[in-house]
């Protein structure tokens, strides 16, 4: 059988090779001709999978090695008996690492006090729940805002959006939905931004369309002081470079990109594909891991976090877009996104025994059993 695979799926050939003939292509360039004779299609978030792409093809299985799947028309797949799999939670730890690192970077720039104050976590699914646990462990007062969960489970343990927006830090971890009672498109609009107090921090590692970027630019220009770290952008890869110049920390949609997270996502989808086609899966993602990087002994949490991952490096890479001709910026964004050094999750670092107890709450050197799945 023929498998069409986004070339950026980590260890994709090793994982999906047992299924048959694997053809790797850039995700944005996969087209109807490429998939016409394929029985399986494996993508990441940049490939739009719908009737336009798959109509008339032989595809029987679609997998996206990502937690989110708003780029896939799942209803159409189900209507045509095409099996589908994604990798919920595969990047939850990676995003939690990014959130801590963004806050540590803002602390280093004296824009925030690391480990202090209240945090409104908007979206408490796989990712948001992991972020909340990590933030609580390092001293933040965490408040969960998840209207769908509150409706299903009861209001206890949740705050509403206005309460979340009143916190010292607001971090977004919702899916992008344009319709329905809990639509998230432009959830953070001008009115929401007005509710955020002076000196607050806004983090977005969800989807770009969750934030009204025009309203955010206006707030940054004219409103009370607001520190902002953005990883996701409306219109990717054609992002708003004017907004890029206004925010404190800007990264190229890589919050969920760690070696472990990407391999975990590959493994989850590869297992689903193997089950679909009744094929053995001999590949183990852990075998792909290189030796753990070493954290130099330090008992300062913010310093230790930045030693493991400093988002200011990715920020500097993304700001290279400002030196690129506008017509070339979308292509350059994709190149920057996939061209940086591969991060390792905090848990997969070697931490000196003398500071292990101090740094453990940050996730450094302590793999979570839930992250061994896949």
Per the annotation, the verdict on 207 as an active-site residue is yes
Examine the residue annotation and report whether 337 is marked as an active-site residue of this protein: no
What is the full DSSP assignment across 32-58?
Answer: HHHHTT-SEEEE-TTS-BSHHHHTT--
How far does the chain reach from its first CA to its final CA, in angstroms?
Answer: 24
78 belongs to the catalytic site: no
Question: CA 239 to CA 330: how far, in whole Å?
Answer: 7
168: how many CB neighbours lie within 10 A of its CB? 18
Residue showing tokens 């104050």:
117
Sign of CA dihedral 106, 108, 110, 116: positive
Strands (E) across the chain are located at 2-6, 21-25, 40-43, 61-64, 83-85, 118-122, 141-145, 169-172, 200-204, 226-230, 249-250
Name the catalytic one among 253, 264, 317, 344.
253
Query: Which candidate in 126, 130, 207, 271 is catalytic?
Result: 207
Residues in the chain: 374
Q: Is 328 exposed, middle or buried (0-12, 13-18, 19+ CB in 10 A)?
A: exposed
How do the residues of the chain divide into helix, strand and coil, expressed in percent and rounded to 5?
45, 15, 40
Q: Which one of the listed residues 39, 213, 236, 345 is annotated catalytic?
A: 236
Buried b (16+ CB within 10 A) or exposed e, 296-311: eebeebbebbbbbbeb
Give which of 145, 198, 210 is closest to 168, Cα–Cα: 198
Q: Annotated catalytic sites, by residue?
A: 207, 236, 253
């Amino acid at each position: 059988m023929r498998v069409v695979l986004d070339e950026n799926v980590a260890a994709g050939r090793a994982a999906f090779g047992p299924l048959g003939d694997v053809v790797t292509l850039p995700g944005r360039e996969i087209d109807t001709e490429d998939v016409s004779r394929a029985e399986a299609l494996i993508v990441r978030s940049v490939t739009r999978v719908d009737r336009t792409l798959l109509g008339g093809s032989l595809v029987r299985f679609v997998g996206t090695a990502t937690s989110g799947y708003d780029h896939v028309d799942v209803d159409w797949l189900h209507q045509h008996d095409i099996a589908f799999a994604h990798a919920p939670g595969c990047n939850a730890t990676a995003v939690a690492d990014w959130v801590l690192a963004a806050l540590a970077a803002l602390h280093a720039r004296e824009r925030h006090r690391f480990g202090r104050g209240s945090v409104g976590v908007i979206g408490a699914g796989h990712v948001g729940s992991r972020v909340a646990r990590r933030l609580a462990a390092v001293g933040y007062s965490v408040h969960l805002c998840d209207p769908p969960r509150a409706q299903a489970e009861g209001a206890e343990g949740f705050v509403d959006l206005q309460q979340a927006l009143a916190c010292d830090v607001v971090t977004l971890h919702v899916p992008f939905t344009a319709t329905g009672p809990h639509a998230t498109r432009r959830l953070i609009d001008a009115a929401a931004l007005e509710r955020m107090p002076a000196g607050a921090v806004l983090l977005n590692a969800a989807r770009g369309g969750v934030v009204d970027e025009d309203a955010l630019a206006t707030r940054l220009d004219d409103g009370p002081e607001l520190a902002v770290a953005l990883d996701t952008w409306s219109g990717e890869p054609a992002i708003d470079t004017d907004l890029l110049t206004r925010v404190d920390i800007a990264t190229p949609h890589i919050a969920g990109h760690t070696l472990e997270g990407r391999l975990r996502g590959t493994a989850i989808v590869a297992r689903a594909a193997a089950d679909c086609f009744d094929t053995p899966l001999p590949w183990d993602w852990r075998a792909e891991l290189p030796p753990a990087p070493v954290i130099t002994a330090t008992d300062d949490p913010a310093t230790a976090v930045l030693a493991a991952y400093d988002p200011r490096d990715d920020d500097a890479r993304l700001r290279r877009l400002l030196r690129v001709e506008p017509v070339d910026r979308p292509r350059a964004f994709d190149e920057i996104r996939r061209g940086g050094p591969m991060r390792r999750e905090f848990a997969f670092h070697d931490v000196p025994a003398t500071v292990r107890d101090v740094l453990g709450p940050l996730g450094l050197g302590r793999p979570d059993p839930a992250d061994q799945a896949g």
